[in-house]
Amino acid sequence: MLVQENQGVRRVICYASRSLTDVERRYSTTEKEALAAVWACEKFHMYLYAVNFELIVDHKALEFIFSPKCRPSARVQRWAIRLMPYNFKVRAIPGKENAADALSRLLPKLSMDEEKQNTNKTEEYIKLIEHEETPNALSAQEVEEASKDDPELQQVRQQLSNNKWDKSSKSFSPMRDELCSIGYLVLRGPWQDIGIDFLGPLDSGHYILVVIDYYSRYYDAEITKKTTSRKVIDTLDRLFSMHGLPKTLKSDNAANFTSQEFESYLQKNGIVHKHTTPLHPAANGEVERQNRSLLKRIKIAKAEQQDWKTEIRKYLFAYRTTPHSTTGKSPAEMFFGRKLRTQLPKLDGEKLLDGEERDHD
């Protein structure tokens, strides 16, 4: 287990494991433990190299066999040489306190009462599936209403917005990054947190700059032949003039997004720039999904011998006015607070006033 400690709270970064070979199974216990330490350090090399870290084990002998004064076997000496590039300190703890030792410890046997209770639960779940019954649960709206009546939760939300934590709520601060993929309990609203990425080059030599709003899934696509920082800034200026300035902007580590010109532009406008993990496009997954959808639409247009630029505009309009599976509303409605007028006929009795206007009537 690779674990990082932050403000006294330990967070798991990565898990790794492998089985022993037939030869390795014949090693002594100390050699097996030493092999595990060497393999783990080399497995997590990209995280551990050139930093000081602590190697926590549950085998006391490892505190000594890797020290300069010890004279272990030739095999262990070779392993010690492989660990020389790393700066670490070995610390032995009891096995029951070592989280990495969990798989080697069998679960305690259940009592007859516990087994009977588990069996009853299993039968209950089977009945729910057979009869297509849904267990009683709170809706998202009920949870939200209950949260509004909780003064402590409201205080936490207020401090999240201000990014200031007092003593009474400081215990929530280390957990804020685990509660949402972008570090907030809830997304703050439309055009607060956006992501950008380039799609291309296309066969025509064009690129498409995709800008998406994480809250509403509403996105814009700018067709261009340039990918310079200046072009990105010009596109963002146009969008910001219509929608205002966001609070955060997420991008990959391409040169046009990391240049001094681009960073200065964001800093001048008070926008926090967040970078995705290098060589890991899934970290900006929402933008990557839209890129795939656009690319598919372009391929269809070319196969049907249609103007792909025109088809892109048609696709964007259809996407923006179609209810999203996650939110249940169209991206345009989430973004603008109203439905865009389309060629589809309106249902009888559909109300055109928004909630705020109805409250005033």
User: Quick one: average pLDDT of 8-34?
Assistant: 88
Instruction: State the alpha helices, DSSP H only, in 55-101.
Output: 62-65, 74-82
Between residues 153 and 174, which one has the greater pLDDT?
153
pLDDT bin (cut points 50, 70, 90) of residue 237 is: very high
- What does the pLDDT look like over 49-73, one tens digit per residue? 888 999 888 888 887 777 777 777 8
* Number of residues assigned to the chain: 361
Q: Examine the pLDDT at 361 and tell me if it is beyond 80.
A: no
Distance, in Å, from the CA atom of 276 to the CA atom of 182, rounded to the nearest integer, reads 11
- What does the pLDDT look like over 260-301, one tens digit per residue? 999 999 999 999 998 886 655 555 667 778 888 888 888 898
- The pLDDT, as a whole number, for residue 181 is 42
Q: Examine the pLDDT at 358 and tell me if it is beyond 50.
A: no
Q: Examine the pLDDT at 26 and tell me if it is beyond 80.
A: yes
Q: Is the peptide bond before 323 cis (omega within 30 degrees of 0)?
A: no
Q: Examine the pLDDT at 135 and tell me if it is beyond 70.
A: no
Q: Examine the pLDDT at 353 and tell me if it is beyond 70.
A: no
- The pLDDT, as a whole number, for residue 344 is 74
Distance between alpha carbon 169 and the CA centroid of its chain, in Å? 24
Residue of 284, 294, 319, 306 whose CA lies nearest to 208:
294
The model carries a pTM of 0.47
- What does the pLDDT look like over 176-222, one tens digit per residue? 554 444 444 445 678 888 999 898 888 888 999 999 988 888 889 99
Distances from the Cα of 196 to the Cαs of 47, 94, 110, 235, 314, in angstroms? 27, 48, 52, 11, 21
Structure tokens at 191: 């055009």
Between residues 216 and 237, which one has the greater pLDDT?
237
Beta-sheet strand order (sheet of 272-275): 219-224, 207-213, 193-199, 248-251, 272-275
Distance, in Å, from the CA atom of 176 to the CA atom of 183, rounded to the nearest integer, reads 6
Q: Examine the pLDDT at 250 and tell me if it is beyond 50.
A: yes
- The pLDDT, as a whole number, for residue 234 is 93
- The pLDDT, as a whole number, for residue 293 is 86
Q: Examine the pLDDT at 133 and tell me if it is beyond 70.
A: no
pLDDT bin (cut points 50, 70, 90) of residue 39 is: very high
- The pLDDT, as a whole number, for residue 359 is 47
Strand 9-14 and strand 2-6: the pairing is: antiparallel
- The pLDDT, as a whole number, for residue 282 is 57
pLDDT bin (cut points 50, 70, 90) of residue 233 is: very high
- The pLDDT, as a whole number, for residue 183 is 43
Q: Examine the pLDDT at 328 and tell me if it is beyond 80.
A: no
Cα–Cα–Cα angle for 112, 116, 117, nearest 5°? Answer: 120
- What does the pLDDT look like over 92-131, one tens digit per residue? 888 777 777 776 666 555 555 655 555 566 666 666 555 5
Between residues 239 and 140, which one has the greater pLDDT?
239
**Ranges 57-66, 233-242, 310-319, 344-353: which has the least confidence:** 344-353
Average pLDDT, the chain: 78
